[in-house]
């Protein structure tokens, strides 16, 4: 019998086959890289948004624009304070009608004093604001209730009746704290100590 020899096909990849395989690898790698980069960009944007929001919430939208003035109204206790506010640089306008003011001393805490249109406020536990005018008599406000850049507002706060342990005011050497809370942004705390002698009108340090 004739010996039948089996022939083995030892041919390698042709150029076309190699090109197809190489192209497939490149496409898969490109798609994977695009997915990884896309996820990275998304995570970066989310982190940036979170940081930006955190800064907005932590940074106060308003700041003091002058001295804090105290009034005793002829008594031996500090019963009313006046402070001036302006917008912090770079912040958005603040709606004064949506402002919340809290009061605290060593005896009492009131988280939301009542906003009144009476100027100055005379009822215990109320506050009011008016726009400041410059030397020419021009009002530093455009007629709306929004505190904006280059505007200043005067805020007068009448202490609550239970302040100072029921005296309606803070005695000499006592302390109190006012918290100004805009609708958005951080709280502006104003903590002051009453001098050793209570005068009718005092600049509080």
Token code pair at residue 12? 């390698």
Q: Are 155 and 127 in contact (CB under 8 A)?
A: yes
How far apart (Å, rounded) are the C-alpha atoms in residues 37 and 17? 30
Residues 43 and 101 in one domain: no
Q: Which residues contact 67 (CB under 8 A, 6 or more apart)?
A: 84, 203, 204
Q: Are 114 and 127 in contact (CB under 8 A)?
A: yes
Q: What is the pTM of this model?
A: 0.71
Residues 43 and 108 in one domain: no
Domain stop point among 37, 58, 79: 58
Residues 164 and 144 in one domain: yes
The structural domain count of the chain equals 2
Residues 94 and 126 in one domain: yes
Task: Report pLDDT digits (tens) over 79-106.
Answer: 999 999 999 987 789 999 999 999 999 9
Task: Report pLDDT digits (tens) over 117-176.
Answer: 999 999 999 999 999 977 677 777 787 899 998 899 999 999 999 999 999 999 999 999
Q: Burial, 156: exposed, middle or buried (Cβ in 10 Å; 0-12, 13-18, 19+)? A: buried
Residues 44 and 114 in one domain: no
The full length of the chain comes to 205
Domain that holds residue 36: 14-58
């Amino acid at each position: 019998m004739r010996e039948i020899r089996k022939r083995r096909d030892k041919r390698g990849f042709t150029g076309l086959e190699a090109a197809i395989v190489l192209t497939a690898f490149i496409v898969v790698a490109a798609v994977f890289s695009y997915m990884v980069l896309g996820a990275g960009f998304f995570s970066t944007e989310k982190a940036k948004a979170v940081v930006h929001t955190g800064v907005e919430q932590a940074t106060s939208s308003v700041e003091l624009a002058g001295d804090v003035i105290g009034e005793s109204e002829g008594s031996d206790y500090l019963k009313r304070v006046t402070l001036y506010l302006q917008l912090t640089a770079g912040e958005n306008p603040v709606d004064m009608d949506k402002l919340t003011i809290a009061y605290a001393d060593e005896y009492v805490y009131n988280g939301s004093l009542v906003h009144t249109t009476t100027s100055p406020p005379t009822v215990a536990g109320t506050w009011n604001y008016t726009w400041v005018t410059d030397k020419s008599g021009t009002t530093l406000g455009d007629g709306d209730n929004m505190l904006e850049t280059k505007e200043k507002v005067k805020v007068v706060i009448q202490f609550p009746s239970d302040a100072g342990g029921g005296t309606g005011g803070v005695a000499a050497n006592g302390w109190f704290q006012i918290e100004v809370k805009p609708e958005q942004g951080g709280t502006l705390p104003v903590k002051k100590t009453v001098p050793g002698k209570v005068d009718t009108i005092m600049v509080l340090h």
